[in-house]
Amino acid sequence: MNHLASQDPRIFAAIEREVDRQNHGLELIASENFVSRSVMQAMGSVFTNKYAEGLPGRRYYGGCEFADTAEDLARERAKRLFKCDWVNVQPHSGASANAAVYLSCLNPGDTFLGLDLAHGGHLTHGSPVNFSGIWFKATYYGVEQDGHIDMNRVREKAKAVRPKLISIGASAYSRDFDYEAFRAIADEVGALLWMDMAHPAGLIAAGLLNDPLPYAHIVTTTTHKTLRGPRGGMILVGRDFENPFGKVARKSGRVRNMSELLDSAVFPGMQGGPLVHVIAAKAVAFEEALQPEFVAYSRQVQRNAAAMANVFLSRGYDVVSGGTDNHLVLVDLRSKNTTGRDAERALQAAHITVNKNMVPFDDKSPFVTSGIRLGTAAVTTRGFKEADIERTVALIDNVLSMPNDESVLHQVRKDVYSLCTAYPLYDFVIA
């Protein structure tokens, strides 16, 4: 990066400090991970220069033959990874992938049913401040006092509101989903079923969690998080089908398959030119995820999360739902007389990165919260095992027990540095 250092030293310095932060801090945000060197190189390639609106073989620009190669590889690898008939790898993010689903399946004002954001759902699943809650009539199901989803309650809600679309998926729910039961409910009320697997996608690809593709009509995901690729989105259909709501092509009048509607919703519906450099990086990540090493990695992510939940419980913390099935642990701090905001700030000062998060039936605002959300995908990429997770939770407990004691924070920072130095990460970036 010598050229950048000389041409724009201020940006270079920001990157250099971020490399140091990632190398020497504990990254426990559940939606983050560390990509491989190969993924990063593809992201920084000359494909960033290319416009490629349209699909491979049907572009609106010339000179797309190698962009076609990259996108075809990404699509073929994604279909093998998730054993599905169709994918679109162009969405810039999970949010834009989700927006394409709404555009394909609903008209403005239509009713859909999703997991309440306050109970672990996602912003794009009907939050009133998000387009999904502004343009459509969002209704919600939630978790019970034990932190689990009760499918009988979901069925009651679906029968009461008669949605056109039911969404599954969450940003802060640590349990697996019963897709077969969700599909039965969707069929009973005449709704399409959509799974947003942004968080557990890598664990699903590795065969460690239930697979939504045989049950959900449409599946969306991000390509980072547990899938360990570049920041981006993707849409998948297990088995293509005719859109049941009868949307037709403007000219031909024929009923189109859902894959065609989704392709059109991504471009020109939601986006212009796809990010070819990101698509190339997605292809690299999908190839990595097809290897046996990725399955072993994913198993360790799951084991580390289970260990994290158990250590928190043993130290007297309230873990929502009593544990985890995936990579994520949601901790309710009310019994510790602190807030998520204060915990996040104290841990940040100790070079431990988490995020404040609402917990079910929270009595505090989203800007304060009663909980913190933690994930094990990134530290597992570094090489952490269960013993390292136990040490990590001990350091978190030390900070949260005495958040204003500078001597404690100083010692934890030293311990974090020592722990991270044992698992080096990105020294090559500045070389």
User: What residues are labeled active site?
Assistant: 51, 53, 196, 222, 225, 231
Assign 3-state DSSP to the chain and report helix, strand, coil percentages, each to 5.
50, 15, 35
**Closest to 32 measured CA to CA, from 362, 342, 327:** 327
Report strand pairing: 192-196 vs 165-168.
parallel
Q: Which residues pair with 174 in a beta bridge?
A: none
The H-or-E segment that residue 4 falls in is helix 2-7
Task: Provide the 3-class DSSP secondary structure of residue 305.
Answer: helix
CA-CA distance, 406 to 410, in Å (whole number)?
6
Q: How far apart are CA 400 and CA 148, in angstroms?
A: 27
Residue 343, amino acid: A
Helix/strand number for the chain, H first, E second: 16, 15
Q: Which residues of 32-63 are buried (b: 16+ CB within 10 A; e: fewer)?
A: bbbbeeebbebbeeebeebbbbbbbeebeeee
Residue the block writes with tokens 């009923």: 255
Which tokens hold the place of 176? 């697996």
Contacts of 311 (CB under 8 A, 6+ apart): 389, 390, 393, 394
Pairing state of beta strands 318-319 and 233-237?
unpaired
Task: Give the DSSP H/E element, type plus range, for residue 151.
Answer: helix 151-161
CA atoms within a 13 Å half-sphere pointing along the CA-CB vector of 313: 14
DSSP per residue, 343-380: HHHHHHHTTEE-EEE--TT-SS-TTT-SEEEEESHHHH
